[in-house]
A and B are shown apart, each in its own frame.
Chain A
Amino acid sequence: MIKLSNVTKKYESGNVALNNVDLGIERGEFVFIVGSSGAGKSTLMRLLLREETPTSGRIIVNGRNVGEMRQREIPYFRRTLGVVFQDFRLIPTMNVYDNVAFALRATNVSSKDIRQRVPYILNLVGLQGKARSMPENISGGEQQRVALARALVNNPDIILADEPTGNIDPELSYEIVELLSEINKVGTTVVMVTHEHELVAQFRHRIIRIERGRIVADTGKIGGQRGRK
């Protein structure tokens, strides 16, 4: 599903964010990417999203070579991914329903399908009663669930979550990861970047540690959920 071979990313400043990284993630896996800040986690996410291209090496995501992708292919590639960010990135002028529907409109889904899928997804993330609320009027945890609903609504093959719990309290963080785990159970691959070790320890998922641009530890594929400590 995701394969990195000898991937190096060197920025113009001379900073080497990733150094000769090899990594494979199978379909249906749930992977935590951990590491201290500046380790290269976010660069890895940007490369997977095709926000950046690698300086050398090969990145295959969903069977596509990300580095050699043409500009006009990028939107169609991103439709196979669901992205969640630390700062939620909701559109402040749209209500919850429209923030989710927006991802479908952007991919030319018919109005009829939008009317069916958005309530279903909002129900899935427990926000059925908040459809008409504006982002500023709901809590951080709820905002992140809206972002998650937006990432899910296109039925992506992979969810890329970049510090999705960074801006919410621990109780709600657990719920978010639990929700991601539920999504993972139905076959969606989940890659989640985090630096919250305690949270990671509560789940039985594969953990990859990156430090100074290199993978320094990988637990390998682990099944099931550890449950709360």
Chain B
Amino acid sequence: MGGSSIGYLLKEGGRNIYANKQMSIAAIGVLVACMLLIGMSILFSFNANSFVGYVEAQNEVVAFLDDGLSDSGIAAVEKQIAATDNVSSYHFISKEEGLDSWVASMSGVTEDSEALFEPLYEDNVIPDSYSVTIRDLSQLEPTVARLESISGVNYVRAPEQVAKTITIVKQVVNMGGAAIVLLLIGVASMIIANTIKITVFNRRKEIQIMKFVGATNMFIRLPFIVEGLLLGLISATLAFLLVWGLYSGLIFWLNGSEGVAWFSFIIENLVPFQEMAAQLAGCFVLVGVTIGTVGSIIFVRKYLKV
């Protein structure tokens, strides 16, 4: 195909969009609306994952060591913790630090707490420990088992219930998000397919004329495909800009809101649009171009049998 033919196809595709303004606007409107919903689902999914990830990062497993373990014993335990899979970070908490932090957590319970806890410092029963954060909470149990098996570790305290809840929430967010996006893509495909079907039906005579003047099926199909592709691209661009605007508007609004505690937590953990832009644009272009092009191919075929 020569350059002039490509020029002709692009010109034809553009001309068809302009000549069939009403149908083109309808198709773009429907595509943009569907992609907006898809986009919002994707953004929600991204952010929900980010929030869950934040909560997940707050987890803490404490491995208490055998009482009276020597420095070399402690070093050996640390080496083994470092070598354990699924451990993202760890730090040593000495007996004294452990007691300090426990006492601090108890402060205010009674008026003379200092005096009350004084005897504990004379005979500190809190053992040395390691605070360990876990990378993947769904693998908490086997990780805890491995930590417990380390010689020198007495027992491990783990937030098992929290881990289970977070794991379930994460699965629901991921699977629910994917299901919603797939469902919306399905719905969008059907609506777009119908729009293209009407467009092609309106122009069945044109297709018939092309057949009678000796145009090959490919020659007839290409301008429709180019048209579908252009409609898809235009819709993808509009939807992307709209989602961007809406998301930025939401962040702006949240920033301006009076500081309710959970608001600031949300604002701090909102994923910046730039981080999702590439995936979102990719998804839009893919959805728009695929639906536009494949829809045109399928429905023009019906009228090519002349």
Contacts and interface: CB of A to CB of B under 8 A. Distances in A.
B306 interface: yes
Interface stretch (B58-66, B152-160, B211-219): B211-219
Interface stretch (A99-107, A121-129, A181-189): A99-107
Contacts, number: 50
A10 B215 CA distance: 28
A95 to B, nearest CB: 11
B212 A107 contact: no
Interface string A4-47: 00000000000000000000000000000000000000000000
A110 B4 contact: yes
B4 A78 contact: no
Interface string A55-77: 00000000000000000100111
Nearest to B1: A108
A91 B20 contact: no
B19 A78 contact: no
A102 B4 contact: no
Contact of B8 (A75, A89, A91, A105): A105
Given A79-B214, A154-B214, A91 B206 contact: yes
Interface string A147-170: 000100010000000000000000
Nearest to B15: A93
Interface of A: 49, 51, 72, 75-79, 81, 83, 89-91, 93, 102-103, 105-108, 110-111, 150, 154
12 contacts: A49-B212, A78-B214, A89-B205, A89-B208, A89-B212, A90-B209, A91-B209, A102-B210, A102-B213, A105-B8, A107-B214, A111-B4
Interface of B: 4-5, 8, 15-16, 19-20, 205-206, 208-217, 219, 306
Given A75-B214, A75-B217, A106-B210, 15 more contacts: A51-B306, A72-B216, A75-B215, A76-B214, A77-B214, A78-B211, A78-B213, A78-B214, A79-B213, A79-B214, A89-B209, A102-B213, A103-B213, A107-B213, A154-B214
